[in-house]
Amino acid sequence: MSRGDALYRGVLVAWTAQFALLMSWYLWLSPPPPALRAPLLIVIVAPWLLPLRGLLRRRRYTLAWSSLLVLAYFIHATLAASAPPPQRWLGIAELVTSLGYFALVMAYMRTTRAAVRHQ
């Protein structure tokens, strides 16, 4: 397995971890009131699904713009990490997954850049 393949798998793992964290956060670990649950899932979780198709097809363009999308989740995580528990621990977990996703995408883009140039 090449370095690019390993990084790509890491990107998928980080994306899945972020998605699982968000879903469990808003449905099970610290759910909002029932009236706010659906709107929060639409506003917070649904945008994270947008890059899924391109990620599964290994599209560099999708990886590039999803690295910008994850910055919104980083801001959300920073705000949640400054809240009282249990939000604090969920925010710290989201910080880890969002930073991990960003770092892995950047490493993948850098590693595969030369291969794209030579095509």
Structure confidence by residue, pLDDT tens digits, 50-93: 999 999 999 999 999 999 999 999 999 999 999 998 899 999 99
Query: Residue 47 sits in which domain range?
Result: 3-117
- Predicted structure pTM score: 0.92
* Residue 100 contacts residue 67 (beta carbons within 8 Å): no
- The tokens for 78 are 């920073």
Mean pLDDT of 13-25: 98
**DSSP state for residue 12 in the 8-state scheme:** H
User: What's the mean pLDDT in 97-112?
Assistant: 97
Instruction: Count structural domains, the chain.
Output: 1
- Is 115 a residue whose pLDDT tops 80? no
The pLDDT mean for the chain works out to 95
pLDDT of residue 86: 84
> Using CA atoms, how far apart are residues 68 and 87, in angstroms rounded to an integer?
24
Whether the per-residue pLDDT at 25 is higher than 90: the answer is: yes
Distances, alpha carbon 96 to alpha carbons 8, 12, 24, 62, 99, in Å = 18, 15, 16, 21, 5
Spatial neighbors of 46 by CB under 8 A, at least 6 apart, are none
Mean pLDDT over 99-117 rounds to: 90
What is the helix (H) or strand (E) element at residue 92, kind and residue range?
Answer: helix 87-117
Tokens of 54: 């391109």
